[in-house]
Amino acid sequence: MKKILSVVGARPNFMKVAPIHRAFSAYPEVEHLILHTGQHYDAAMSDAFFQDLDMPQPSYFMGVGSGSHAEQTAKVMVEFEKAMHELKPDFVIVVGDVNSTIACTLTAVKMGIPTAHVEAGLRSGDRAMPEEINRIATDSICDYWFVTEQSGLDNLKHDGHPDDRVFFVGNTMIDSLHYALPNADKSDILERVGLTSKQYVLVTMHRPSNVDEPKQLGELLEILAELSQDRTVVFPVHPRTRKNIASHGLSGIIESNPNLVLIDPQGYIAFLALMKNSDFVLTDSGGIQEETTALGVPCLTIRTTTERPITCEIGTNTLVEPTTEGIRTALKLTLNSPAKTGHVPPLWDGKAAERIANIIVTQCLGL
């Protein structure tokens, strides 16, 4: 029996690996294990995600924690090498673009273990983003590439990767969305927060440039306060951001605008229900661009570039200049114009993980 190991390091990775784990259950000739590096770890949130996605608890938990990019990457490499000696996998799967992705790829490849990158080939063109460096470095050294959209194929072809090891399979993040939608439709999160479907805007902000810098955070909250005069604004806010709001003396903006509602971070199913039922989403996230396109919900992404161009080209996503003027202009246009409609990209059909499992078992491992 061949042993396949998938790496998760941060919450978005869970959504990408959960359907892969289920897909491998159809192949008795392989054993699929999940390793959690602990790059991002909050017990309550992680447990909720595993439960929401019907994932087993990880076979191996490294608990590396936070640190600078160099510290975190180095810790993951040291601990992952120990795990490889103990687990002895025949094949490693990494997903996404977090520090754990490149750290585990470097380690596995140097140990001679065939390694596949799920969500390969995505590029924003912005090398100031740590995730972009992780994407480029991972794709440059792994052995197999599983691609979510046409731009990924184009980028990998441009970089000279062999066609017979690049596979256009679709998007496992959307597999998880399809899997969880029935439960999301039963969620009572709207009732608990006091919301009416399509009568509110969902906001997510997590990038340090938006939530750690006092001036930028203050301007964003002022914009959200203005928006709350037209729609209820729901902002699931990270504890660090909530702390920043208080320490920077910005709590008054929240207190004086009752339609600007800050709630705690939510599990996957509750958040999916919030996203599906929103009028539109305002975000700086990567994956949410994909999920809103799959749901047909308009999305404004406060960034100058995106590594997921298909969401803008045929989906519901619009890039917004990350300035107060740019955001205000985009919000005014969104509130006063017909909603952007889009199409679901090719192969975003909920079956990407099945394609990945079949290719790995039959072609990569030759079973």
Q: Where are the domains of the chain?
A: 2-171+348-364, 189-336
Q: Which of 334, 327, 319 is nearest to 225 (CA)?
A: 327
Enter the tokens of residue 231. 């729609």
pLDDT at 45: 63
d(CA 258, CA 313): 36
Are 128 and 136 spatial neighbours (Cβ–Cβ below 8 Å)?
no
The rounded mean pLDDT for the chain is 94
pLDDT at 85 over 70: yes
pLDDT digits (tens, 9 = 90+) for 63-78: 888 889 999 999 999 9
For 146: left if phi > 0, alpha if psi spans -120 to 50, otherwise beta; the answer is: beta
Let me know if 36 is a catalytic residue: no
d(CA 351, CA 89): 25
Enter the tokens of residue 23. 């897909």
Backbone angles phi, psi at 107, to 5 degrees: -65, -50
3-state secondary structure 11-23: HHHHHHHHHHHHH
Are 274 and 184 spatial neighbours (Cβ–Cβ below 8 Å)?
no
Q: Are domains 2-171+348-364 and 189-336 of this chain identical in fold?
A: yes
pLDDT digits (tens, 9 = 90+) for 129-140: 999 999 999 999
Enter the tokens of residue 248. 């920077």
Q: What is the mean pLDDT of residues 179-199?
A: 97
d(CA 234, CA 27): 43
Please name the residue that has the structure tokens 């750290």.
Answer: 103
Q: What is the mean pLDDT of residues 304-326?
A: 96
Q: Which residue type sits at 86?
A: E
Q: What is the DSSP letter of 319?
A: E
CB atoms inside a 10 Å sphere around CB 127: 10
CB-based burial label for 70 (10 Å; 0-12, 13-18, 19+):
exposed
Backbone angles phi, psi at 361, to 5 degrees: -70, -45
From the candidates 32, 36, 178, 206, give the one annotated as an active-site residue: 206
Pairing of the two strands 91-95 and 2-8: parallel
d(CA 64, CA 302): 30
Which has more confidence, 12 or 182? 182
For 276: left if phi > 0, alpha if psi spans -120 to 50, otherwise beta; the answer is: alpha
pLDDT at 41: 63
pLDDT digits (tens, 9 = 90+) for 124-171: 999 999 999 999 999 999 999 999 999 999 999 999 999 999 999 999
Q: What is the DSSP letter of 163?
A: G
Architecture of domain 2-171+348-364: 3-Layer(aba) Sandwich (3.40)
At residue 300, the 3 state secondary structure works out as strand
For 243, residues 6+ apart whose C-beta sits below 8 A from its C-beta are: none
Are 95 and 142 spatial neighbours (Cβ–Cβ below 8 Å)?
no
pLDDT digits (tens, 9 = 90+) for 16-33: 999 999 999 999 999 999
d(CA 79, CA 32): 20
CB atoms inside a 10 Å sphere around CB 149: 26
Residue 122: band (very low, low, confident or very high) from pLDDT cuts 50, 70, 90: very high
d(CA 262, CA 299): 19
**The CATH number of 189-336 is which of 3.40.50.2000, 3.30.70.380, 3.40.50.1820, 1.10.760.10?**
3.40.50.2000
